[in-house]
Amino acid sequence: MRYLVTGGAGFIGSNFVRHLLAARPDCEVINLDALTYAGHLESLMDVADDPRHRFVHGDICDTGTVRREMRGVEIVFHLAAESHVDRSIVEDAPFIRTNVMGTATLLSAALDAGVRRFVQVSTDEVYGELPWRDPAQGSHDAPRFTERTPLAPRSPYSASKAAGDHIALAYHTTHGLDVVVTRCSNNYGPYQYPEKLIPLMITRALCDEPLPVYGDGLHVRDWIHVRDHCEGLLAAAERGRAGEVYNFGGAEERTNLSVVHDILAILEKPRTLVRHVEDRPGHDRRYAIDATRARTELGWSPAVRFAEGLRDTVAWYLGNQAWCASVAPSASARSYR
């Protein structure tokens, strides 16, 4: 089977390409990536010589490239996106171009090429925010995002992703294109660009640099290991219902501050490295995912517990500091999602 993966040189994309090649030995993967600041061929070195994987350096907004590479494709996994909230606040145009116009370009080409299924990979941020709840006090009865939660994006990034979701589902309703939308909570794991919370804190702590934490640090996120997310994407492609949305979450709610403290504990660094900085505009207080539909319809459930996954992630960054220096020599000066 021939797959097209967009954004396959990024964090989730490179992990997914690797997962797809391992899980489906007879597959052919076309990896289309523009290699912007967060996409790097260094993240694909272990599959660079795999004859089943073909990398294409191209822009998803380039109609000619997209239509050429869409020929003969059976399933599209659309992971290419501008995804950093802070960057979207400073300049939103690249987010609208990639996440909206790029998605529309891909959908049009997929329809004309007779693609069997289009998986639109989105984010829980399109739902907005939930009432704050201290994860340490238990949150089993606290509200979570379901697939029926109305979309209420609160940043240019999440608004652009919501627009892409709407266009994808409209292609299903209007044109009959088989579309499945997935929305996932915060990912972590290897090959994540070091501007996001976990790799940023790891790389800064290793250098004994101050760790910038927005506001009071009590913003709550539901964390999922990228490996579990990859399992979910493949399950959605193979067992999901056309025109439906599937949420993926790790059921691992943590405050940002507690995550930072956990990283410092693993690295045996002092909490005095933490520096609370001015909060960013419109910073959502809490996200949490109800993944019941994915469990019941797809047979999917997260396997990696956060404590284990975080230790493995810290160990990966410790063992791959050359990768960090290569892909993001100045990323530690930036903040996180």
The distance of Cα 137 from the centroid of its chain, to the nearest Å, equals: 28
Considering the candidates 125, 165, 195, 262, report the single residue annotated as catalytic. 125
CB-side neighbour CA atoms (13 Å) of 329:
1
For residue 74, indicate whether it is catalytic. Answer: no
Considering the candidates 33, 124, 195, 284, report the single residue annotated as catalytic. 124
CB of 275 closer than 8 Å to CB of 233: no
Helix/strand/coil for 30: strand
CB of 116 closer than 8 Å to CB of 109: no
For residue 124, indicate whether it is catalytic. Answer: yes
CB of 68 closer than 8 Å to CB of 44: no
Q: What are phi and psi of 90, to 5 degrees?
A: -75, -45
Identify residue 242 by its one-letter amino acid code: A
CB of 291 closer than 8 Å to CB of 248: yes
Helix/strand/coil for 307: helix
Considering the candidates 59, 69, 127, 157, report the single residue annotated as catalytic. 157
Q: Which residues pair with 25 in a beta bridge?
A: none
The residue written with tokens 């997260």 in the block is 302
* Angular region, 168: left φ>0, alpha ψ -120 to 50, beta rest: alpha
CA distance 140 to 132: 13
CA distance 223 to 308: 12
Looking only at the bridges linking them, the beta strands covering 220-225 and 253-255 are: antiparallel
CB-side neighbour CA atoms (13 Å) of 316:
18
Q: Which residues pair with 4 in a beta bridge?
A: 30, 76
Largest CA distance in the chain: 57
For residue 167, give Cα distances in angstroms to 33, 157, 172, 271, 306. Answer: 21, 16, 9, 45, 34
For residue 244, indicate whether it is catalytic. Answer: no
Residues labelled catalytic? 124-125, 157
